[in-house]
């Protein structure tokens, strides 16, 4: 992995890729020096190219002191220059998270955190290029849940947990244009089967194993 140290004074407007400049990765405490992994820039550029819209970085490199001041993890990838918290105006963060998960490197590596704040359409996505794979979801504060994949398999009868981190049924219902109640009932199933048929998916085959969100959510 290639991690480069930059200076706000000397490099702030330096182009790191087609659409990203060095200053976008600087620490929010305005420290002069900051670190950026080349692989992280490449990943963000892939996201930018895929969605065709600016990728907005709310937090990239963090100095250890700044990371502590905001309650960041003591093992934060941000302090290594390998992570960024991002969002794209007009794009549901879950679409971003699922796209990142589909990239070749992230099949066996990298961290992806889906932070759903207040509403499913709000929040941001944490992306890092660590060697080992890590996935988690969070709905509020610092509470989070480690998961094997960003969107789980769900079936009729599945329910979102009020006040918890479960959200998959809500995402599905929003995608299908249904009233959101967080309960995968008969109406949700009927609408899903209708959607699958309309998009050339074999509904019966999918129902043998539940619902695959990589097929349902258009990334």
Task: Enter the tokens of residue 110.
Answer: 């990298």
Query: Alpha carbon of 33 to those of 3, 8, 23, 25, 58: distances in Å?
Result: 13, 6, 10, 10, 18
Q: Is 181 helix (H, G, I), strand (E, B) or coil?
A: coil
pLDDT score recorded for residue 157: 83
pTM of the model: 0.79
Residues 69 and 65: their CA atoms lie apart, in Å, by 6
- Going from N- to C-terminal start, the domains of the chain cover 3-146, 168-216
For residue 128, the Cα-to-chain-centroid distance in whole angstroms is: 10
pLDDT score recorded for residue 120: 43
pLDDT score recorded for residue 127: 98
Residues 201 and 133: their CA atoms lie apart, in Å, by 30
Phi-psi region of 138 (alpha: psi -120 to 50; beta: other; left: phi over 0): beta
pLDDT score recorded for residue 165: 47
Task: Enter the tokens of residue 71.
Answer: 């309650």
pLDDT score recorded for residue 166: 59
DSSP characters over 62-117? --HHHHHHTT--TT-GGGGT-EEEEE-TTS-HHHHHHHHHHSGGGGTS-EEEEE--
pLDDT score recorded for residue 121: 47
Q: Residues 160-180, buried b or exposed e (16+ Cβ, 10 A)?
A: beeeebbbbbbbbbbbbeeeb
pLDDT score recorded for residue 212: 56
**CATH annotation of 3-146:** 3.30.1380.10
Residues 35 and 29: their CA atoms lie apart, in Å, by 14
Query: Alpha carbon of 14 to those of 6, 32, 209: distances in Å?
Result: 9, 14, 49
Mean pLDDT by 10 residues, the chain (219 residues): 95 97 97 98 97 96 96 93 96 87 92 73 87 84 68 77 64 84 89 80 56 54
């Amino acid at each position: 992995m290639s991690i480069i140290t930059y200076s706000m004074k000397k490099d702030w407007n330096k182009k790191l890729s087609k659409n990203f400049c060095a200053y976008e990765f600087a620490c929010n405490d305005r420290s002069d020096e900051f670190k950026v992994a080349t692989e992280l820039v490449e990943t963000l550029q892939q996201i930018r190219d895929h969605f065709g819209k600016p990728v907005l970085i709310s937090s990239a490199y963090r100095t250890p002191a700044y990371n502590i001041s905001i309650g960041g993890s003591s093992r934060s990838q941000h302090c290594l220059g390998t992570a960024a918290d991002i969002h794209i105006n007009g794009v549901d963060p879950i679409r971003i998270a699922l796209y990142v998960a589909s990239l070749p490197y992230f099949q066996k590596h990298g961290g992806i955190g889906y932070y759903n704040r207040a509403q499913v359409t709000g929040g941001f996505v944490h992306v890092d290029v660590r060697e080992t794979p890590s996935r988690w979801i969070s709905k509020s504060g610092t509470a989070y849940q480690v998961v094997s994949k960003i969107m789980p398999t769900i079936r009729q009868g599945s329910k979102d947990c009020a006040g918890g981190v479960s959200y998959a049924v809500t995402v599905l219902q929003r995608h299908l244009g249904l009233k959101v109640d967080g309960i995968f009932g008969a109406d949700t199933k009927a609408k899903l089967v209708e959607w699958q048929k309309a998009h050339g998916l074999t509904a019966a085959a999918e129902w043998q194993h539940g619902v695959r969100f990589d097929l349902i959510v258009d990334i």
